[in-house]
Structure 1
Amino acid sequence: MDITSRFLGMSSYKRKAKNGREFAVSPSKSRMRTHSYARLMENAKSGVSLYDKTFGFASSPLKKDSGISKNKRRSLEISRISTLEQREQYRRLIADHLAPSVREPIKFKDPEGQVAKNISIVDLTKLPNNDAPEKGPATPSLSRGIKNNVKENVLYSGFGTRQKSVAIKDVVSPCLSENFISNILKTYNHRERHRQMQLSVAEKRATMLREKREAKEAMLSEILESKLEIKETPKLPELTSAMNAVINNAFEIGPRQEILAENFNISMTREHISTLFGLRWLNDEIVNFYMELIVQRSKECKELPSVHAMNTFFYPKLSKQAYNSVRRWTKKVDIFSKDLVFYPIHLGVHWCLAVVDFKRKQIRYYDSMGGENEECLQTLRDYLLSEHKNKKGSEYDLTGWKLESMLEIPQQMNGSDCGVFACKFAEYISLDAELSFTQDDMPYFRRAMVWEILNKKLLR
């Protein structure tokens, strides 16, 4: 059976081996080989194309029994779907790509007579006429790369025998410009000026913010100094050895009713003085005597505020029996002419102090345990109204007066020193001094009060 009939329709055939024996070929393999070789034979009968010549397929003789490689199968597929005209265009494009595109530069003169620089002749595809370029992928692909940075005319020649000179503009690098350095300097000088301007604005803003912050800090510093100003605590008078000897003698065992001091219609016995020893509670005699010492000092020193002190029994009688029970207590004194009036308040087991400040129009309540007593403040307010109407014959104007329980004052840390605190509140207020003492000063104050009572004068 010949090769044509064997590959063009038979499902199976017999083939001779090298030893002369025949054997059958399977139908599936037969169909695959039949399809490939049939196409190969058709192409061979039709002739070899220019595309095949370009890529060298024509130089390889067809062998009947040889297999088809992958690359040849791809080339055969291209030849099957492509026309001769399309393959010719591919061939021309490849030939143009492989050929040198730039030839030696030539010189020519521009219209002004100057010799142009950087003149080159570039090969382009052939142009069929003077007006329109030949259609195809070559012309746009080659002309696409020369659009920017153009300066002078250049001559170009096409491929083949026909040549066409086309005048276009040449590509010129900006680095070759005569003004390149000056342009660069202008650009970077402009940027530098812009940066300097931004820096100046930032510095001005920083200066403004710094000044604003410093002004605010100064204002806050003044506020803190006024609120939290730490004043020097006045140094307390030192008790000498002679003073301590007198004080120790008063605390020694002796007759309880022995009178150690007498003044202001008050007799101070050894029993009264002993309440200042240790942590004992003060009695009425000690408090009343010490209040009279404060009044006496205010009379002797005209620079100090004028002071009057009520007896410790005044407030209990006023609060229980009303104004009429104490109406005659001020028969010899005009309290409205004083700057300060002290009212020692005894609440059974606790001493406090109330102060009527006519100069500042205030009624203040001082409790070393931090307590508040609105009832006491209202009672003293009503007393002022009644006292003024009784003594002056008119209503007392309390407009602008303030009633306040003082909280930010020295506090006692035990249950025994309330009487000493009350006496020292009055003594410091009469000096118009800050209440700078503490619980730690109480032992000193107890001994100092003994010396002051025995000597009938205050140390300060």
Structure 2
Amino acid sequence: MNSRSEGERLRGPSKRRNNRSEGERLRELSNRRNSRSEGKLNSINFDCYLENIWRKLPEDKKNSFACLDSMWFSSYRNKQYESKVLRWIKNKDIFLKKYVFVPIVLWGHWCLLIFCHLGESLESESTTPCMLLLDSLQIADSSRFAPEIRKFVSSIFNNEERPESKQLIKKIPLLVPQVPQQRNATDCGKFVLYYIGLFLENAPETFSISEGYPYFMKEDWFTHDQLESFCLDLQTVNKSSSSADGNSSDSDDVICLD
């Protein structure tokens, strides 16, 4: 564990006043794109809400999880930023984690990729290295993400000089469980946050395709009323944080107020 706070690790590169980091510039570009999708969460609000979810996680569980910044996947697709994103990911030590959350926002839509046991042997039978794609709009065909995801994963393995062959990496299962679906065109970001929150609470010690999958990730995983209650709780926490941080003149945290 390094000395940075959990919030900083979630956001990635640190933010400094009057000296904008590459990460901040990437986020500005991302949010300009996201702002065109009226009613949807932009990446700043998403990451702010995610930090509050992370804070609630017991300390003894945090070592099993990591979460990549919500803009890294889309930024990786730009050759100009690919090497930077891979360097930031390397600093997250994802191969030491049981589960790694990769929020994805592409084509105006949020979904969630979860790496499970990527640091384990790809030939293991008891602990299954795999990927989960949780998509609240499967009617739009979740398989469209597969080529981008596999290229991303292959680059991560190569950048970290892992011993696994390209053939084995290509065989990592990419599973798409039948999770609750959104009823409108704007709630995808909320669903991803709730997927993360519930997975943090209920993730199995070891993930097995042959014995437990899909575990709790089913169509009746949660109701829309439960989702709305979760979102209201997040907004309440953020408003409380805003009031508390308003007394500090040197706070760099972004507070979400919807």
TM alignment of 1:49-448, pairs within 5 A:
264=8, 280-298=39-57, 300-303=58-61, 306-321=64-79, 323-330=82-89, 332-358=91-117, 360-370=128-138, 371-372=141-142, 373-389=145-161, 394-396=162-164, 398=168, 401-406=172-177, 408-432=178-202, 434-435=216-217, 436-448=221-233
Letter in 2 for 1:446: C
Please give the per-residue CA displacement for 1:301-341, whole angstroms capped at 9, x wherever unaligned: 31467211111210112123274241321354311111111
For the 8 Å contact 1:291–1:309, the answer to whether it is kept is no
Please give the per-residue CA displacement for 1:103-158, whole angstroms capped at 9, x wherever unaligned: xxxxxxxxxxxxxxxxxxxxxxxxxxxxxxxxxxxxxxxxxxxxxxxxxxxxxxxx
Structure 1 distance, partners of 2:158, 2:55, is 27
Letter in 2 for 1:414: N
Pair 1:317–1:303, CA change in 2 (3 A): closer
For the 8 Å contact 2:90–2:160, the answer to whether it is kept is no
Higher relative contact order (CA 8 A, sep 6+): 2
Letter in 2 for 1:280: G
From the CA coordinates, give the structure whose radius of gyration is larger: 1
Please give the per-residue CA displacement for 1:146-190, whole angstroms capped at 9, x wherever unaligned: xxxxxxxxxxxxxxxxxxxxxxxxxxxxxxxxxxxxxxxxxxxxx
Structure 2 distance, partners of 1:334, 1:421, is 26
Structure 2 distance, partners of 1:295, 1:340, is 14
Task: Provide the residue aligned with 2:236 in structure 1.
Answer: 451
Please give the per-residue CA displacement for 1:34-56, whole angstroms capped at 9, x wherever unaligned: xxxxxxxxxxxxxxxxxxxxxxx
Letter in 2 for 1:319: R
The CA RMSD over aligned residues, in Å, is 2.9
Structure 2 distance, partners of 1:330, 1:339, is 15
Structure 2 distance, partners of 1:337, 1:453, is 31
Aligned length: 177
The percentage of counterpart residues that share the same residue type is: 23
**SS of match in other structure, 1:431:** helix
Structure 1 distance, partners of 2:234, 2:113, is 21
Pair 1:287–1:360, CA change in 2 (3 A): farther
Please give the per-residue CA displacement for 1:363-395, whole angstroms capped at 9, x wherever unaligned: 111110113121233123213322321xxxx42
**SS of match in other structure, 2:78:** helix
Which consecutive aligned stretches of 4+ in structure 1 deviate over 6 angstroms post-superposition?
none
Please give the per-residue CA displacement for 1:40-91, whole angstroms capped at 9, x wherever unaligned: xxxxxxxxxxxxxxxxxxxxxxxxxxxxxxxxxxxxxxxxxxxxxxxxxxxx
Letter in 1 for 2:131: I
**SS of match in other structure, 2:77:** helix
Please give the per-residue CA displacement for 1:203-233, whole angstroms capped at 9, x wherever unaligned: xxxxxxxxxxxxxxxxxxxxxxxxxxxxxxx
Deviation at 1:420, TM superposition (A): 0.3
Letter in 2 for 1:381: V
For the 8 Å contact 2:113–2:132, the answer to whether it is kept is yes
Structure 2 distance, partners of 1:331, 1:343, is 14
Deviation at 1:287, TM superposition (A): 1.3
Letter in 2 for 1:384: I
**SS of match in other structure, 1:280:** coil
Pair 1:443–1:333, CA change in 2 (3 A): closer
State the TM-score, normalized to the length of structure 2: 0.59
**SS of match in other structure, 2:225:** helix
For the 8 Å contact 2:99–2:114, the answer to whether it is kept is yes
Task: Provide the residue aligned with 2:254 in structure 1.
Answer: none
Structure 2 distance, partners of 1:441, 1:304, is 24
Letter in 2 for 1:416: T
